[in-house]
Amino acid sequence: MRCESFSNDLVLSACDCLVLGLDTEWAKSSELAKLNEATNGLLKQLIETEEISTKPLKMTQIVAPAGLQTKLLLTVGLGSPGSRDANVYSRAAAAALKVIASKKRGIVRVVGFQGTGLSLRGAVSGAMVGCVGQDLFRKEKSLYQPDCIQWVGLDEATVQAGVILGESINFTRRLVNLPPNYLYPETLADEAKQLGRDDSVKVEVWDRKRLEAEGCGALLGVARGSVRDPRLVILRYNGAAADVAPTVLVGKGVTFDSGGYSIKPTDGMLTMKCDMAGAATVLGIMKAAVQFQVKHNLVAIIGLVENLISGDAFKLGDVLTARSGKTIEIHNTDAEGRLVLADCLNVALDQKPARIVDFATLTGACCVGLGLEISGLMTNNEAWQSEIKKAADACGEYTWPLPMHAFFTEQIAGKIADIKNVGEGRYGGAMTAAKFLQEFVADVAWTHIDIAGPAFLDSPKPWCDAGGTGTLVRTFVELLSN
């Protein structure tokens, strides 16, 4: 699928589909004036009679409108410029392309999207997300990418920046959507290695032997139940001077989570291929950051395991020794992601980082507290957390800070080991999980992001098919680029 800027005659140039974005100030649009004149006033009449709506994401299809060289005109509402949410452009473009992608198309031309570089990049990336589905193995696809998307009024640099974002989000989505018999620790490590084809990225993979030598007892404990060997992958990118401390991105990569002996019910286990979404998010961010040549030193660390049941699987009551030397009582084998991250965070400290951020589908408790569209932020450094939230707000991705009071630490105190891997009872589970992770970051500025809600859609949305979403890839690429 190509994406390009378009500056030829909007009325005379033929296309398969014309997407027209309309906000409440549509009467000021020169492009709409041209299209309205070509249709003998039809568009203006339909808008004024509210047959066509400017409300956000409301769409109307007109087949082969007289006067225009297109087989289909699709209007999509953009709302009021003054009160527009930051995600309207990306979602409107995605929703429009998702409708158009119901069948094979050639040229799709998009007009009516005007605004800041941030919002326009969001529109381009959103369009690329909207026309790509989760149906990786279906012979008959439910969504088809058009051959080309042309953007009226956007310069080529903006379009190509949006393409990088869109490709990186879809890369993350594809990894999350791959079934666990295709994507497991070894093959996900291979996906990470592909980023090393760029000379600016160095990739290091730790196999089981290296993990044992490094004393990664927490990660290895989770991996014991599977015949698939675990991996830990480190990617390094230098976009600044060698003496500048890096930002470290850490991702949870549990490629399938049965819950272990604390086994999940069938309904809860069916989508647990998505428990590696944190690792996929990190790889998506790195992919885009490298292409943008961001002026930061970055290190990405992903811990890759399967959490399964066997005669050697870790058990409730076991004590594991993490790489840091801290001992951990296992009170729930379904609280495994924090064990994987514990060793990854300790490896992150070896990189002498300026700051750390980790991404993880960590707790159902975060979904209970914040719903399914909001990622939880927990931190030991409010300035770093605020920087992340500001970038997310600008991109229209939802995050919200959760408290990290000292009494949550008391709830993970162990009786026979230093700490235990769950808190006391069912309450505050997102925060006690974060407090567990905080035990492994020393005094480095660190923010934990629980993406359990928005990382995976059980059912489709107007702007995205079901499955992986690529949440926060765009936020962090924009943050690092600026």
Residues pairing with 378 in the sheet: 448
Question: Cβ(113)–Cβ(21) under 8 Å?
Answer: yes
Catalytic residue positions? 264, 338
CA distance 278 to 302: 8
Q: Give the position of tokens 């295709």.
A: 182
338, two tokens = 């924090």
Q: Which two tokens stand for residue 181?
A: 């018999």
Q: Which two tokens stand for residue 55?
A: 């409300």
Burial call 324-352: b when 16+ CB within 10 Å, e when fewer: bebbbbbbebbbbbbbbbbbbbbbbbebe
What type of residue sits at position 409?
Answer: T
Secondary structure string (H, E, C) spanning the chain = CEEEEECCCCCCCCEEEEEEEEECCHHHCHHHHHHHHHCCCHHHHHHHCCCCCCCCCCEEEEECCCCCCEEEEEEEEEECHHHCCCCHHHHHHHHHHHHHCCCCCCEEEEECCCCCHHHHHHHHHHHHHHCCCCCCCCCCCCCCCCCEEEEECCCHHHHHHHHHHHHHHHHHHHHHHCCCCCCCHHHHHHHHHHHHHCCCEEEEEECHHHHHHHCCHHHHHHHCCCCCCCEEEEEEEECCCCCCCCEEEEEEEEEEECCCCCCCCHHHHCCHHHHHHHHHHHHHHHHHHHHHCCCCEEEEEEEEEEECCCCCCCCCCCEEECCCCCEEECCCCCCCHHHHHHHHHHHHHCCCCCEEEEEECCCHHHHHHHCCCCEEEEECCHHHHHHHHHHHHHHCCCEEECCCCCHHHHCCECCCCCEECCCCCCCCHHHHHHHHHHCCCCCCEEEEEECCCCCEECCCECCECCEECCCCHHHHHHHHHC
Q: Are 298 and 236 in contact (CB under 8 A)?
A: yes
55 CB burial (10 A radius; 0-12, 13-18, 19+): middle
